[in-house]
Structure 1
Amino acid sequence: MTPAPRLRIGFILAPNFTLSAFANFVDVLRLAADEGDRSRPIHCRWTVLSHTGRAIRSSCGVSVTPDTDHANPGDFDYVVVVGGLIDDKARLAKSEIAFLKECAKAGIPLVGICTGAFILYRAGLMQDRKCCVSWFHHNDFMDQFEGLQPISDRIFVVDRDRLTSSGGASAAHLAAFLVDRHLGRSAARKSLNIMIVDGRAEGDAPQPGPPMIFETRDPLLRRALAMMQDNLGAPLSIEAIARRLDVSRRSLERRFKAQIGVTPAQASVEIRLTHATYMLDHSDASVAKIADATGFCDASHLTSVFHDARGITPAKWRRGDRRET
């Protein structure tokens, strides 16, 4: 006789959900549920829910077909909401929000992955709870939920019966946390080892990726900064950014100087330097490759700009010798 699963997870996928976050979470469950990677849902069971019964399209275009359009809160130990793109199309159906509220009333813990925390907050299901949001979406959260301060320097946060994760690889670590809680540490470690994820990270582990250097609530400046962030390897000219924003270069420069304290050109260089610094600290890439990835002409150009800004060469920074000789 097959034993009852010790961990039962229901998934609600928002339209335009992030496929990698969902896949990472599920794969930890899959590998913990059986011997080796045989994938039988013995110790864990996972179910994709949709009250419409229709396939849900992810942000990358791949669709996932739900397992059922009927469920009871008591069928699950946790219900996980996987978010993704932040737009009006990414909202859950009223019936799905109603189901989440039923789960909360029944005491079923709710989990928000990626922008799933946005969905839970919007549904009124995060009262007096802290939440984890990706550093990339920190300002988006502040804009939507005035007065609330998300945690954007950790990979996941557990606050009583609400668990939130920044998404991506951190979804695997949150899933491993639940597997450890219900099946034991060896099962969690096994899943991550097979997935070639380096060790099980606790929730207070820092989020990877460079921090948001400049913070502003100005929508136009945020769009400008996003363009700089999205075009690291081939930086846009300030004229091109201004043209895309339908403003003059002079107007854009005045706005940057007034609200951020630097010119757009200075902001662009600092964003690229921050990414270069992050790559020096977290990769084995050569200085030449880092220069190419962050929009500098070559290793010599990056070294010159880096030295002017940091007072040290990239090579010495990587060696940990932060004192210029």
Structure 2
Amino acid sequence: MRQVGLILEDGFQLMGLAALAAFELANAELGAAGYRLTVLSEHGGTVRSSMNAGIETVPFGVMPDTLMAAGELVPSDISPGLREFVARAGQEARRVAGVCTGAFVLAQAGLLDGRAATTHWAHARDLQQRFPKVRVDEDRIFIRDGPIWTSAGMSSAIDLTLALIEDDHGPALSRSVARKMVVYHRRPGGQSQFSAMLELEPRSDRVRRALTHAREHLRNPLSVEELADAASLSPRQFSRLFREETGQSPAKAVEMLRLEAARVMLEEGRHPLDVVARDTGFADRDRMRRAFLRHYGQPPTGLKRSLRLMEEEAA
């Protein structure tokens, strides 16, 4: 039985506990071959979340097989005792993982120096500025670099844990746990944290209707006239309102939606580039390639190759 220890500090984010929920469900199928779960803190006792909910913990002791550090809403400096324990885990534990802003705990212990890592997108630039030796990628759900794992924010704790379970016991168990948690099995580590619809954040129902129409009809030309009709506005009124609410032109927003859909299809790995271009409305591979170069700095083939390499490294 493998031991998993999750470190909590006062102010921890409750969503981080979802990681233990995934291991708990794995135990239901594995039985004696499963995981022994321990909630840790430096001194033991009650640790309070950002919502003031108390969780009982045990003090640091024997190093677990897998040590995980939960995140806080606002990352803070860690104590010398916590820093020493996490640094020691880099030598003694088989794996160390930072959930959400738990990456800051790993970074303060020196475990991320020279490694690729991610964290919640809202804190990624701060992580990079505070720890310049870390290769921060703010656009990943989770990253594995050798024995060190880090994840993005909130629900990505589940994706990270499903990947850890798959690393230990194979994809069949991971898929079974995902089904029981009623989540997608599992988002690839290379999948973007961002949603184009969320990033645009329109205020009015009319602009939201136009964006929803665009996302559901990507194979259409999606001219300003078509989008304006979906919003029940004249093309001139629609263009002005759209830019006021999103800061983007309709054409740029449509390209973002097409790119997001194309990237998801590439991550799924089952579609030829011609099919991806057609189904996402780029019309042809060359037009899609130019859009990828503008937005991602690499062509679709390069992104697909990078995702495949990441999956192979995680295997």
Q: Give distance in 2, aligned partners of 1:64 and 1:42.
A: 26
| Structure 2 match to 1:112 | 98
Distance in structure 2 (CA, Å) of the matches to 1:304 and 1:14: 48
Aligned to 1:63: 54
Give the structure 2 partner of residue 159 of structure 1. Answer: 145
2: CA distance, partners of 1:277 / 1:109 = 46
Name the amino acid aligned to 1:153. Answer: D
CA contact (8 A) 1:180 1:188 kept: yes
Quick one: structure 1 residues 314 and 94, their matched pair in 2 at CA, closer, same or farther if it must change by over 3 Å? closer
TM-score by length of 1: 0.62
Determine if contact 1:307/1:313 at 8 Å carries over to the other structure: no
Deviation at 1:277, TM superposition (A): 9.0
TM-superposed CA distance for 1:17, in Å, is 1.6
Aligned residues: 241
Change (3 A) 1:282 1:28: farther
Matches within 5 A, 1:22-101: 22-35=16-29, 43-66=34-57, 68-73=58-63, 76-87=64-75, 90-101=76-87
1:8–1:44 contact (8 Å) kept in structure 2:
yes
Deviation larger for 92-101 or 195-204: 92-101
> CA-atom RMSD, angstroms?
3.8
Secondary structure of the residue that 1:65 maps to in structure 2?
A: strand
Are 1:306 and 2:242 matched, yes or no?
yes
Aligned counterparts of 2:253 and 2:193: Cα–Cα separation in 1: 23
1:1-325 correspondence runs (5 A): 5=1, 7-20=2-15, 22-35=16-29, 43-66=34-57, 68-73=58-63, 76-87=64-75, 90-146=76-132, 148-210=134-196, 300=233, 304-306=240-242, 309-311=248-250
Distance 1:152 1:101, change over 3 A: same
Counterpart residue type for residue 25 of structure 1: A
Higher mean alpha-carbon deviation, 200-209 vs 126-135, is at 200-209
Distance 1:132 1:315, change over 3 A: closer
Cα-to-partner distance string for 1:136-163 (whole Å, 9 max, x where unaligned): 2122223322464411111000000110
Paired amino acid for 2:249? R
Classify 1:119/1:51 alpha carbon distance in 2 versus 1 (closer, same or farther; 3 Å). Answer: closer
Q: Distance in 1 between matches of 2:160 and 2:282?
A: 35
The answer (yes or no) to whether the contact 1:77–1:108 under 8 Å persists in 2 is yes
> Following TM superposition, by how much is the alpha carbon of 1:107 offset from its aligned partner in structure 2, in angstroms?
4.7
Q: Percent identity?
A: 24
Q: Structure 1: which 5+ residue stretches go unaligned?
A: 214-228, 235-272, 285-297
Closer, same or farther: CA 315–83 of 1 in aligned 2, 3 Å: closer
Q: Would the aligned equivalents of 2:9 and 2:41 in 1 still touch at CA under 8 Å?
A: no
Q: Give the TM-score taking structure 2 as reference length.
A: 0.64
Report the more deviating stretch, 314-323 or 183-192: 314-323
Question: Aligned-pair distance for 1:12?
Answer: 0.6
**Per-residue Cα deviation, 1:263-315 (whole angstroms, up to 9, x for no partner):** xxxxxxxxxx9x9998777799xxxxxxxxxxxxx975766522784245989
Deviation at 1:203, TM superposition (A): 1.2
* TM-superposition CA deviations, 1:162-193 (whole Å, max 9, x none): 10001322111111111112122221111111
Going from structure 1 to structure 2, the CA distance change for 1:187 and 1:311 (only over 3 Å counts) comes to closer
Q: Whole-Å Cα distance in 1 between the matches of residues 111 and 189 of structure 2?
A: 21
Q: In the superposition, relative to structure 1, how do residues 156 and 115 fare at CA in structure 2: closer, same or farther (>3 Å)?
A: same
The 8 Å contact of residues 303 and 314 in structure 1, kept in 2 or not, is answered as: no
Higher relative contact order (CA 8 A, sep 6+): 1
Aligned-residue offset at 1:108: 3.3
* Contact preservation (8 Å) 1:135, 1:212: no
Q: How many angstroms apart in 2 are the aligned matches of 1:278 and 1:71?
A: 53
Where does the alignment leave 5 or more consecutive residues of structure 2 unmatched?
218-230, 259-278, 284-315
Q: CA deviation at 1:133?
A: 1.9
Identify the range of structure 1 (159-168 vs 310-319) with the bigger mean alpha-carbon deviation.
Answer: 310-319
Asked whether the 8 Å contact 1:12–1:81 carries over to 2, the reply is yes
Structure 1 stretches of 4+ moved >6 Å:
275-284, 313-319
Distance 2:117 2:142 in 1: 8
Contact 1:117 1:131 in 2 (8 A): yes
Q: Which amino acid counterpart does residue 242 of structure 2 have in structure 1?
A: F
Counterpart in the other structure of 2:287: none
SS in structure 2 at match of 1:30: helix
